[in-house]
Amino acid sequence: MKAAFKYLTSLLFLVIVIQVGVAAVALFKALDYADAHGSVPKDQIESSLDPHHIFGTLAAVLILILFILAFAARMEPLMKKLAGALLVLMVLQFLFAVLATNTAWLGFLHGINALAIYAVAGLLAHRAWARKPATVAEGETL
């Protein structure tokens, strides 16, 4: 289970990087469209963000699985805390996204929180890969 945790942390980090990248692609597509047509219809912007939403949902699922796995695999306390922090940040991310649809400046918090998710996910992946495997005392089995 600890190996699965390690690989899932890397997958989560990759998904987060892709999610940020596809959000940037959506923004630049909108700018290109605006240059060519003068304005961008709202439905086109929303559909351009579909990949961002898909990868955001995938990240949320992975965060939930990692949180559960951190306890099931009996990871050390720091790993459980980092997985818990990711879970809290994920809930805040969805909250900020929903609130920003009515109050645009809250989109700032969505972006800043994304940086926190990126940092914690990166730290969690680093710690998962850098941790030393448990040693077996003489006569004991794992």
Distance CA 2, CA 80 (A): 12
Distance CA 82, CA 70 (A): 9
Q: Write down the pLDDT at residue 131.
A: 78
pLDDT in tens, 25-83: 999 999 999 899 989 888 888 899 999 999 999 999 999 999 999 999 999 999 999 99
Q: Give the predicted TM-score (pTM) of the model.
A: 0.87
What does residue 141 show for φ and ψ, rounded to 5 degrees? -125, 155
DSSP letter assigned to residue 135 = P
